[in-house]
Amino acid sequence: MKLTRRQALAISAGAALAVVAGRAGSAHAAVDDTEKAIQDFTGGKSPETGRIRLTAPEIAENGNTVPISVDVESPMTAEDYVASVLILADGNPNPDVATLHFTPMSGSATATTRMRLAKTQNVIAVAKMSDGSVFMDKKEVKVTIGGCGG
Amino acid sequence: MSNAKPRIKVPKTASKDEVITIKTLISHEMESGQRKDKDGNTIPRKIINRFTCTFNGQEVFSCDLDPAIAANPYFEFSAKVPESGTFTFEWVDDDGSVYSDKAEIEVS
């Protein structure tokens, strides 16, 4: 089979489009996964803003170890406390980062850890209170060197 | 395999019902399962997937970890101390090993 110049051009243009479409598809998948993880965690509720504060650097030079802190306003009594906090990163190969579980014995709902970021993206923290209400905070972190290897 | 070495920092004394800060670190490579070796084979995932801190048997703080937690997982969190006692820390590896450490605190 011999291709004419016109057919060859049409085929390569088609291939290029397919590649672009594939890329866009995977980028959306990460955001969709994040959305789904939030919904699974909250049981379908949309989180409100406030009460939770996520602290992350604006620019992370090394994505291999990025310090993040969460701080949730709560009296932390047996009747009213923060049950858990879900941490997600919407641009990593897998959005899950960690789920922190607090108890009234925690005294205050604050925690600091270090995470990996593959590229510049949003870090999201969702807090679930003992009464079932949910709150969210989000920070964009710019990453200079990605931290997922490979 | 136990090259995972936990390090913890807990104050020695506290006053009753004081909220103290605890810092923990454990040396562990936290292999994400995303990386490939030089032959292109995926390096299998091996991470610490759970961390718990209990005080006199009662849970204070715990965490489910995913591969996005950095190597040598570090945690800083707080705890309310109602009485003298022992904090117990446990890290659970993907291979089932459990690394643990303890710290005493005295309430004056």
Q: What ipTM does this complex have?
A: 0.93
Dihedral-angle region of residue A67 (phi above 0 means left; psi in -120 to 50 means alpha; beta otherwise)? beta
C-alpha span between B3 and B100 (Å, rounded): 13
Return the SS3 of A111: strand
Bridge-partner residues for A8, per DSSP?
none
C-alpha distance from A13 to closest chain B C-alpha (Å)? 30
**Residue at A84 is within a domain:** yes
Count the domains in chain A.
Answer: 1
**Residue at A105 is within a domain:** yes
Tokens of A35: 């959305």
Model confidence at B2, pLDDT cuts 50, 70, 90, reads low
In chain A, which stretches have pLDDT less than 70? 1-3, 8-29, 147-150
**Residue at A149 is within a domain:** no
**Residue at A36 is within a domain:** yes
Interface touch A94/B69, C-beta < 8 Å: no
**Residue at A31 is within a domain:** yes
CB atoms within 10 A of CB A95: 26
Interface touch B64/A150, C-beta < 8 Å: no
Interface touch A106/B77, C-beta < 8 Å: yes
pTM, rounded to two decimals: 0.84
Which residue among B64, B70, B78 sits closest to A106, beta carbon to beta carbon? Answer: B78
C-alpha span between A127 and B44 (Å, rounded): 31
Cβ contacts (< 8 Å) between A117 and chain B: which residues? 68
How much is the pLDDT for A132? 93
pLDDT, tens only, B10-44: 999 999 999 999 999 999 999 999 899 999 999 99
Interface touch B66/A108, C-beta < 8 Å: no
Domain that holds residue A88: 5-143
* A108 close to A73: Cβ distance less than 8 angstroms: no
CATH of the domain at A103: 2.60.40.2470
**Residue at A150 is within a domain:** no
How much is the pLDDT for A25? 44
Interface touch B70/A149, C-beta < 8 Å: no
pLDDT, tens only, A108-131: 999 999 999 999 999 999 999 999
Domains of chain B: 5-107 (2.60.40.10)
**Residue at A102 is within a domain:** yes
Chain A residues touching chain B at CB-CB below 8 Å: 64-66, 69, 76, 89, 92-94, 96-108, 110-117, 147-150
How much is the pLDDT for A16? 57
C-alpha span between B51 and B89 (Å, rounded): 7
- Pairing relation of β-strands A59-62 and A96-102? unpaired
- For B75, name the nearest residue in chain A, comparing CA atoms only: A113
**Residue at A53 is within a domain:** yes
pLDDT, tens only, B42-79: 999 999 999 999 999 999 999 999 999 999 999 999 99
Interface touch A107/B69, C-beta < 8 Å: no
Q: Give chain A's radius of gyration (CA, Å).
A: 21
The residue with tokens 């897998």 is A94
How much is the pLDDT for A2? 63
User: Residue A145: CB partners within 8 Å, gap ≥ 6?
Assistant: A61, A62, A63, A64
How much is the pLDDT for A72? 97
How much is the pLDDT for B3? 74
* B31 close to B1: Cβ distance less than 8 angstroms: no
